[in-house]
A and B are shown apart, each in its own frame.
Chain A
Amino acid sequence: MNLTLYTVKALILLDVSNGSRVLAKYYNTGAPSNAATSPAVATGPAPTSTEFATLKDQKTFERRLWEKTRKLLNNEIILFNNHVVVYKGMADVMLFVVGSLEENELMLSSVLNTLYEAINLVLLKYQTEKRTIIENMDLVALAIDECIDNGIVIETDPGTIASRVSKRPSELADISFNDPNSISGAMNKVRDSFFAGILLK
């Protein structure tokens, strides 16, 4: 029984077509952290398992997970390698939330849905696809960070999460016509003020 708040072991976004990683965050992998320089941390609440300690382990896990799930996008849940994994497809990527074997499936599924909606919300009018996620990694990363802090779920309401993700700084400081980002930047600005307008209404 998991008596700690550490619910999410990993959060993974994979390319649906080839299983390559778009984004992956593994929590409490036992990798040395600053706080962990003290030996006392070994007895702490964090389940510092070493199963995902190396990049190689992680990639192997992802590859096998992708092979198992890519044809079964609607299944939503799978027991995999002693983990409960819930997942969802979003355009050309798949979003996975990994929990321990005894974890409450509905908790994981709730995190998954929260993330799914929060990411959609921060990307607003863009298609939630691989390219946009990479282009807007700042927004996506912040949304994830507002949802999960080192394996602990800190917010379950996608709207609240989206509202906590700050907009990008305004373009005014450097409008340059040579900047290849200026078009999308301008669009962002329009979107941002639109967004803020709605929220303040």
Chain B
Amino acid sequence: MSFGKKDEDAESRGVFFDKSQVLLETRVFNETPLNPRKSRLLLGKVLTLLYTGEHLTRAEATDLFFATTKLFQNKDPGLRQIIYLLIKELADKADDVLMVTSSLTKDINAKPEELFASPNLLSSAAASFGFSFGSRTTSLSSASAALGAGAGPGAILGTNVCHRANALRAICRIMDPSTIPAIERFLKQAIVDRTAAVSTAALVSSYHVFPVARDLVRRWVNEVQEALTSPKVTSTSPSAYLSTGYIVQYHALGLLYLIRQADRMAVAKLVQSLARTSNVRSQWAQCMLVRFAVKCCEDESASFGGKNMVSVDGSLSAAMYEYLKSLCNNNDMVMLEAARALVSMVNSTPASLTATQVQPAVTALQQLLVSPKPALKFAALRTLHQLAQVNASLVTACNLDMEQLVSDSNRSIATFAITTLLKTGTESSVDRLMKQISSFMSEISDEFKVIIIDAIRVLAVKFPAKQAVMLSFLASVLRDEGGYEYKRSVVEAIFDLVKVLPDCLETALAHLCEFIEDCEFTKLAVRILHLLGAEGPKTRDPAKYLRYIYNRVILENSNVRAAAVTALAAFGAHVDSVRPTVRVLLTRCLDDPDDEVRDRATFNLAALDQADLRAQYLLNDTVLAVPTLQAKLAHYTAAGDFAHAVDVAAVPRIPKAELVPARRRAGSPTRGGAMNSPMLGSPAMRTMTPTLGPATPTPAAQAAAPGGASTQWLEKEPLLAPLLPTLFKSTSSVALTDRELEYHVSLVKHVFRDWLVLEIEVVNTMPEVLLENVAVSLVPDTPIDTVMKQMAVVPIASLKAHDPQRVFVAFQRAPGAVPTVSFATKLTMTVKDCDPVTHVPDSDQGYPEEFAVEDVDVTLADYMLPTTVPDFSSAWDALDEPSQVVETLQVPGIPTLAVAVAQIVDLLGMRALEGSNMVPAEKHAHTLVLGGVFLGGVPVLVRVRMVLDAGAQAVAMEVAVRAGVPEVAQVVAQALQG
């Protein structure tokens, strides 16, 4: 314990004692007579070792553990308490820790006068092996009685009580599932102990062992209930610190919930009864109660299909709402919890609260905002910020208070204030706010800046009139010092502005050009060059950007040079007037030292000169749908049959713009993201770039078809997995039942070259029932035997509650047949009653049951993948005239053209091209053009000219279909007639 000079170095690294030295010193535990004081100090050193992260080997820990158990011989309370602590710390590090069970049991049971009064009482200590409970039936009530009477003046305050509590907590740590029943009796009795410390120790210990001793702990529910309601004493001394002991309620409530959590009705009843009375006195318990109440409401609204239950009188949620509202003027901790609960109920679903309903929460939070304590301000702001994400208008009442906090010394608070204000701010306050932010930007760290830039981006989109202010602000911060993440967020913000507000394109590009002149971040320079290539040609004077881009070719590293070459080529391809210039510049790049740059230059030069290559490569703004392609390649390589080339024609094309997944933008950052953003090291802040990922089969397969379901379950089915290389399409999952029913059933259709596989997912929601041999019976509405035959059904052998499993039904289709059919569908299964926890059936006898679900329809859309073509009219001309099929039809009962368009797109499963799915209002004639890839990779194009007869609510249409194969055109045209 001496701190020599030489130790100071080690000490500053957090090494205070030498491990081997300390372990050696534990020999004093063997001395007779034992020196309790020395032993305790030494155990303090051991704890220091453990807490500073010193690693003990299993052998060292075990030795230490057994050395420590020898100390049980001594009766000193001060020593005993620290032994308990050490046992807990070593419980998971040492072997054979069960050895001390009997010593601990003895302490738990000991009468107070026995515990430390007589030093001669033989301690069980290390010598005792095995379990010898129950030999003494010490009465706990006598212990309590003695305590109630007050221990003698010689006794240390509450020592006995504490030690029983400590022994309880320690013993639960060393038990394993097989030995816990042996201490059941003590725990159960201790739960209802009059002393808070003992009761808490028992409750918390039960809580810890619950996962391994569910059934046991469940049996104590009455005791726990009693602990929740009966008053406690905390200390035997009249004048000592008197805590109220209500904290026991917190532990009892937590345990009660844990026991009952599977049973929604019981939880609801518990919460409701506690909310009605004022029996819950502990703030902590009240906070827990609030959370349980929210959970109840969520469960309820989920089971009622998201209807607003709060407005329904007498419903559970209505009662909960009243309860939460009443808590909004409680003490700070509970008030915050209740307000946060109310805020969490405000969301965009119909089940959310109205503005008036959430008002009490806002008022409560407003009170917290003016508190001097940072934690309070922080908590209130964080909650308001979250509310502002959903509905900014609700927070405006707090604007004045929040403006005060913009200059708060805690930067987390200031940032939350700013970002919330940016959300709630009105157009008129923007200028003032921006000025405030500008003065503030230089003082804060990059992480905060990123958050603020994000908020500004959202604001700029919200108030287009203010874009000039925003843009000049962004441009000015772009010039400031800053790290990559920060600069990136600024560049992203400008990109977004360009996308949403075409007016500011030229100014924005000018700022960006200036930025890349002196940009240290290769990634950003590349992205900006790409944007210049994409947007620059659309401006009035494209030529001026060439200089900026070519400067990069001269001055930058190879990555940037390559990007610059591509950008140059884009100008050359789109703008005829600059093409000669671009050609000259590209020619110079042919001598570049980097081969990628040279390759790009060569390729682009070649493509520029020939109109058809130019159209195919430089002006083509569609790409293959990468996930589909990736899945296809994965299946192809997995199959190992390389005799045939991959069928690229069957891969749909999508516009380039859609390659970038819809990014988090405008008013919809996720709640979690918004809550955790400040201070994050921000790698996970935003995933802007498309994550196309490594080519592992599983993620590829998951994204098999855009919007489609994954094939991961199919891959696990040995019977069906061999089909995968011929997979054409997987549809997205469709529910076949309502959410309220006892079984949830949903369907995914997998279409193969010659097969059709129905994947039917079944979820059993009833814990007390086990389903066995779940299969599906499908009855077609029309005879299909000639075109399609059901070949196999893979049933579910056994289905537990809340464990989704799948039935597969495989059909083989006749070659070339694309049958459309509707199946009347029902599940067949054997139902057995079972234990809700272990899922072991009560008896072997079950009863058969049938369960009808909605019809399964196989439509033409299932054989079609939506795709896009660069230019519809040229693609249309390219397909043979003779393949064209024209139909005219009159469709009644359609009010508007938009409805007609939606129905056609839905029916055919094709992609509307050239924005033709948008029907201008008030128009009575419209042409819809569609693109698709039919089964087998056959390109299909459809042109629908339609005229609305508003009076008759009917649409007359002329459908022209062209396809690579005439029969396919026939089939598609016929599908529309139906």
Which A residues are closer than 8 A to B by beta carbons? 1-5, 15, 17-18, 20-25, 31-38, 40-46, 55, 58-59, 64, 68, 72, 74-82, 86, 101-102, 104-110, 131, 134-139, 141-142, 145-146, 149-150, 152-160, 162-171, 173-174, 180-181, 185, 196, 199-201
Contact = CB atoms under 8 A, between A and B. Distances in A.
A140 B446 CA distance: 38
A21 B237 contact: no
Contacts of B77: 166
A24 B52 contact: yes
Contact of A40 (B211, B332, B681): B211
B762 interface: no
B550 interface: no
14 contacts: A21-B52, A21-B53, A23-B51, A35-B176, A35-B177, A40-B177, A138-B40, A141-B47, A150-B204, A154-B200, A155-B247, A156-B284, A159-B241, A168-B41
Nearest to A158: B241
Interface string B170-212: 0001111100000000000000000001001100100111111
A160 B41 CA distance: 23
Contact of B333 (A78, A104, A167): A104
Contacts of A154: 200-201, 204, 247, 251
A124 B240 CA distance: 16
A45 B47 contact: no
Contacts of B3: 131
B162 interface: yes
Contacts of A137: 44-45, 47-48, 51
Contacts of A159: 240-241, 243
Contact of B373 (A22, A42, A76, A169): A76
Given A3-B261, A77-B378, 17 more contacts: A3-B292, A5-B207, A21-B53, A24-B52, A34-B97, A35-B209, A76-B375, A78-B412, A79-B680, A80-B679, A101-B672, A141-B47, A155-B197, A166-B77, A170-B37, A173-B36, A200-B239
B694 interface: no
B873 interface: no
B284 A107 contact: yes
A3 B177 contact: no
A21 B250 CA distance: 32
B265 interface: no
Interface stretch (B9-17, B320-328, B887-895): B9-17
Interface string B151-179: 00100111100100110010001111100
A109 B409 CA distance: 18
Contacts of A20: 12-14
Contacts of B148: none
Nearest to B74: A169
Nearest to A108: B375
Contacts of A23: 48, 51-52
Interface string B329-357: 00011001100100010000000000000
Contact of A185 (B37, B239, B288): B37
B643 interface: no
Contacts of A173: 33, 35-37
A150 B336 CA distance: 25
A34 B89 CA distance: 11
Given A4-B258, A5-B204, A21-B52, A152 B251 contact: yes
A189 to B, nearest CB: 9
Interface stretch (B78-86, B456-464, B477-485, B513-521): B78-86
B40 A169 contact: yes
A86 B487 CA distance: 30
Contact of B174 (A34, A76, A79): A34
Contacts of A68: 679
Contact of B157 (A1, A22, A86, A200): A200
Interface string B856-888: 000000000000000000000000000000000
Interface of B: 1-3, 12-14, 16, 33, 35-41, 43-45, 47-48, 51-53, 55, 76-82, 85, 88, 91-92, 97, 153, 156-159, 162, 165-166, 169, 173-177, 197, 200-201, 204, 207-212, 214, 234-235, 237, 239-241, 243, 247, 250-251, 254-255, 257-258, 261, 284, 287-288, 291-292, 294-295, 332-333, 336-337, 340, 344, 373-376, 378-379, 382, 409-412, 672, 675-676, 678-681
A5 B203 CA distance: 11
A110 B286 CA distance: 15
Contacts of B261: 3
B158 A163 contact: yes
B282 to A, nearest CB: 9
Contacts of A45: 207, 210-211, 258
Contacts of B16: 134
B176 A37 contact: yes
B211 A41 contact: yes
A5 B254 contact: yes
A169 B79 contact: yes
B53 A152 contact: no
A199 B241 CA distance: 8
Q: Mostly helix, strand, loop or mixed at chain A's interface?
A: mixed
A76 B158 contact: no
A138 B43 contact: yes
Nearest to A130: B11
Given A25-B51, A38-B177, A45-B210, A181 B374 contact: no
Contacts of B153: 200
Contact of A78 (B40, B174, B235, B679): B679
A135 B39 CA distance: 14
A77 B371 CA distance: 14
Contacts of A149: 169, 201, 204, 208
A18 B10 CA distance: 12
Contacts of A101: 672, 675-676
Nearest to A102: B675
B291 A2 contact: yes
A60 B1 CA distance: 28
Counting chain B CB atoms within 10 Å of each CB, the highest count among A37, A77, A80 belongs to: A77
A40 B214 CA distance: 10
Nearest to A179: B38
Contacts of A108: 375
A150 B208 contact: yes
Given A104-B336, A168-B41, A196-B156, A43 B174 contact: no
Contact of B412 (A24, A34, A77, A160): A77
A107 B247 contact: no
B85 A166 contact: no
B40 A168 contact: yes
A146 B88 CA distance: 13
Given A106-B376, A138-B43, A154-B247, A169 B78 contact: yes
A86 B288 CA distance: 20
A16 to B, nearest CB: 12
A59 B764 CA distance: 45
A167 B174 CA distance: 26
A67 to B, nearest CB: 11
Contact of A33 (B52, B91, B159, B284): B91
Contacts of B159: 166
Contact of A180 (B1, B39, B166, B678): B1
A167 B52 contact: no
B378 A3 contact: no
B239 A201 contact: yes
B217 to A, nearest CB: 11
Contacts of B210: 44-45
Counting chain B CB atoms within 10 Å of each CB, the highest count among A20, A79, A169 belongs to: A169
Contact of A138 (B47, B234, B287, B291): B47
Contacts of A35: 173, 175-177, 208-209, 211-212
A106 B169 contact: no
A59 B53 contact: yes
A160 B243 CA distance: 7
A75 B409 contact: yes
Nearest to B169: A149
Contacts of B382: 105
